[in-house]
Structure 1
Amino acid sequence: MCASGKIPGIFCRTGAVLLFLTVFAWPGRAQEPDIPVFDFSGIRPFLEQTDDTTYLINFWATWCTPCVEEMPAINEIARKYRDRKLSILLVSLDFPTHIETRVIPFIREHRLIPRVVVLDDPDADRWIREVSSRWSGAIPATLIYRNEKRDFYEKSFTYQELETIVKLKLDQP
């Protein structure tokens, strides 16, 4: 069809390149992390789950030193409790334009297990209050909840501190 002129040449060349990359991609090569960008309405459902799972939602950024320092603790919690009803979401406050240059390299370097999303919503005054009325907007900030029992922390965690809180939530009736 390409030679007949029914499909413009650019589409034929693009299709051929995509076919080549699909067929001959290096086996075993890691997939690019999929980092969705949400406004707050896209984040809200993660904050409103009512099943029997414990949720840990961490607000962080690659430029935030305390955030970076606590990331190994969060990652270890994700690894250690992967067989329990624990769901961890890392909400990056990095600019969406920094996904390729900062967020993805950070995920790779730290071998992050939890899902990462980027929050891009200019109305921070509104969504910060919706996350917690106690949140000043400083990061790191973490919401840990199970059903209606919610705890909000505007601080960095050590592994021991975080594990104590997560275990209590997981063991709640």
Structure 2
Amino acid sequence: MKNSKSILILTILLISMFYGCVDNKKKTEETKPVVESVEDTDEIKVYDFESIEPLLYTNSDKTYIVNFWAMWCAPCVKELPIIQEYEKNNPNVEVLLISLDFPKDIETKLKPFLEKKEITSNVVLLDDPDANSWINKINPNWSGAIPYTIIFNNENRSYHERAFDNLQDLETEVLNTFN
């Protein structure tokens, strides 16, 4: 009787572990970042930092610009058209705007804001309450202030804890990153 109880308990544990792994795999697949332009979809995807982090690195020599911003940040709002203009002038550059706004405001505030400002760049929302952890993972020198922009490819990377004043300012920083 003792052996059959042990076998039953072991079987239950193995089944639990198997289904736990399947559920974790499913969660990973569901949160796998798929970044689309606001123009391409009406949905703004919400991610935690673990899902956003792979988007901050590349094996490509293509130029990426990732900008952390929020609607309530006046310097952020002022520079969004500058970043978008740079993207339009440089189709080989990929831009990702990571909103730090509240997920509950996507439909009522964020989407109308993007439409009003004619922002068509890729937008996702970062919803991760442990900012002290993920800010340091991005750059230990980042105070957490926004706007914050990362310009990078597989060999070079620069961090900018400030707003770009104009298109020339952004162009200069991109050039400086790769020269």
Whether contact under 8 Å (1:61, 1:94) holds in the other structure is yes
The offset of 1:34, in angstroms, is 1.9
Secondary structure of 1:161 counterpart: helix
| Pair 1:97–1:155, CA change in 2 (3 A) | same
**30-39 vs 50-59, which deviates more?**
30-39
Residue equivalent to 1:43: 52
Shift of 1:148: 3.1
| 1: CA distance, partners of 2:175 / 2:116 | 27
Could you state the TM-score of these two structures normalised by the residue count of structure 1? 0.76
Name the counterpart of 1:126.
133
Q: 1:1-173 counterparts in 2 under 5 A?
A: 33-82=42-91, 84=92, 86-158=93-165, 159-169=167-177, 172=178
* Root mean square deviation of aligned Cα: 1.6
Retained in 2: the 8 A contact 1:78–1:113? no
Query: Once the 2 structures are TM-superposed, how far is the Cα of residue 168 of structure 1 from its aligned partner?
Result: 4.6
Q: Which residue of 1 aligns with 2:5?
A: none
| Aligned amino acid, residue 162 of structure 2 | K
**Residue aligned with 1:137, SS:** coil
Matched residues, number: 140
SS at match of 2:151: strand
Unaligned runs of 5+ in 1: 1-29
Equivalent-residue separation in structure 1 for 2:109 and 2:90 (angstroms): 27
Percent of residue pairs identical: 45
CA–CA distance in structure 2, aligned partners of residues 100 and 92 of structure 1:
13
Q: Give unmatched runs, 5+ long, in structure 2.
A: 1-38
Greater helix share, structure number: 2
